[in-house]
């Protein structure tokens, strides 16, 4: 690997302020600096060189089982690789199997998040794009379970979907006319709830942006009807067909040519900050051109209003081809760090590529 160069070393400073309790908190900061290039094995298509960099078309979740790290990549269907750590993942990645592939006509499925339970089962949540004419979709979210670290999956069904009649069939958006998708799922530290941070593309601008839902931990094996969306200060709306109150609303309608909106969150627990960290994409037109990568913090998942105002940490000009899907991946094999947990120093990936190290600094007292 060669040490890469970037235009500049970036630092973002942002206040842990403006939270729902009205308390102004001290500032914390994050420093981004150039680092040795790392690229996921990802998905290598057809007769391509299996050792060549593959494609990534969503977040790439990872988990540990014993001394083995597993990671998933998706480009309409998921693939898996494994190894002793982030730097030694197997190539090429291997296609996983769904129990209901035969006869499936409801479009591609992308693994966005995973959770390894103490009983050994692995759960995942997928972004699904049912086909709509002409060549667009309204995504929805489903879940599956695996007994072999994600090589074979049993589908548990759809758990999040936009309300009926919420699509904008006149939308000029390149991909979506509505839907719920492009999300992250994380479990709280108390094993009480799974929290879903979803991108919502409703025809009504008031329901466009980043929204939140949750499900009780004990419902993970029978999730249908058990997910509830956060709406007007309560976890009151059903996952299937319910309405949302956004935590980061779209600035300009998703269905306009000049859309301005955050989407595609990825979230991890930072052991150094003792806080949750969210990364976001920001779309600036109907073709989803990337404006930049943003970051937000919260101390408590159960407080949707507790997230700080997103601040930019990377401009699109610093990215290769202005790609999407930012993630922070912890590199501590001894502490079993992944996309879900990281410490003071970690790697910043975008579209499966990392040219940066990110360091978190605690708030300074005054």
pLDDT tens digits for range 259-277: 999 999 999 999 999 999 9
On the question of pLDDT at 328 being above 90, the answer is yes
Averaged confidence pLDDT in the chain: 92
What pLDDT is attached to residue 27?
64
Contact call for residues 150 and 74 (beta carbons, < 8 A): no
4 within a domain of the structure (yes/no): no
What pLDDT is attached to residue 15?
45
**CATH code for the domain of 215:** 2.115.10
pLDDT tens digits for range 207-259: 999 999 999 999 999 999 999 999 999 999 999 999 999 999 999 999 999 99
3-state secondary structure of 331: coil
16 within a domain of the structure (yes/no): no
Total count of domains within the chain? 1
Query: Strand 261-270 and strand 341-342: pairing?
Result: parallel
CA distance 132 to 257: 20
CA distance 301 to 313: 22
DSSP state of 156: E
26 within a domain of the structure (yes/no): no
Contact call for residues 326 and 277 (beta carbons, < 8 A): no
Task: Enter the pTM of the model.
Answer: 0.94
Give the range of the structural domain holding residue 316, as residue numbers without chain letter.
41-340
296 within a domain of the structure (yes/no): yes
The helix (H) or strand (E) run that includes residue 361 is strand 353-361
CA distance 70 to 77: 16
Alpha helix (H) ranges present in the chain? none
CA distance 21 to 248: 18
CA distance 83 to 99: 25
21 within a domain of the structure (yes/no): no
């Amino acid at each position: 690997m060669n040490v890469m160069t970037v235009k500049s070393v970036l630092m973002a400073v942002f206040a842990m302020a403006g939270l729902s309790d009205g308390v102004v908190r001290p500032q914390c900061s994050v420093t981004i600096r150039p680092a040795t290039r790392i690229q996921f094995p990802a998905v290598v298509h057809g007769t391509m060189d299996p050792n060549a960099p593959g494609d990534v078309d969503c977040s790439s979740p990872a988990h540990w089982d014993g001394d083995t790290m597993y990671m998933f990549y998706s480009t309409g269907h998921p693939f898996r690789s494994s190894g002793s750590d982030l730097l030694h993942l197997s190539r090429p990645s291997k296609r996983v199997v769904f129990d209901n592939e035969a006869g499936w006509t409801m479009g591609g499925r992308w693994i966005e998040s995973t959770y390894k339970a103490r009983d050994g089962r692995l759960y995942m949540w997928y972004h699904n794009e049912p086909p709509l004419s002409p060549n667009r979709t309204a995504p929805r979210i489903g879940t599956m379970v695996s007994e072999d670290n994600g090589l074979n999956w049993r589908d548990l069904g759809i758990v999040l979907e936009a309300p009926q009649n919420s699509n904008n069939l006149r939308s000029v958006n390149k991909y979506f006319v509505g839907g719920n998708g492009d999300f992250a799922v994380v479990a709280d530290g108390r094993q009480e709830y799974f929290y879903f941070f979803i991108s919502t593309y409703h025809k009504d601008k008031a329901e466009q942006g980043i929204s939140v839902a949750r499900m009780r931990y004990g419902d993970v094996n029978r999730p249908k009807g058990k997910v509830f969306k956060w709406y007007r200060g309560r976890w009151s709306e059903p996952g299937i067909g319910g309405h949302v109150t956004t935590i980061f609303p779209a600035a300009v309608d998703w269905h306009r040519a000049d859309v301005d909106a955050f989407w595609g969150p990825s979230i991890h627990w930072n052991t150094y900050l003792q806080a949750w960290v969210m990364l976001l994409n920001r779309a600036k037109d109907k073709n989803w051109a990337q404006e930049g990568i943003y970051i937000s913090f919260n101390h408590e998942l159960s407080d949707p209003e507790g997230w700080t105002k997103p601040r930019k940490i990377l401009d699109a000009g610093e990215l290769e081809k202005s790609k999407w899907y930012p993630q922070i991946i912890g590199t501590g094999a001894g502490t079993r760090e992944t996309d879900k947990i990281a410490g003071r120093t970690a790697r910043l990936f975008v579209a499966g590529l990392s040219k940066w190290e990110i360091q978190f600094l605690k708030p300074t007292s005054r």
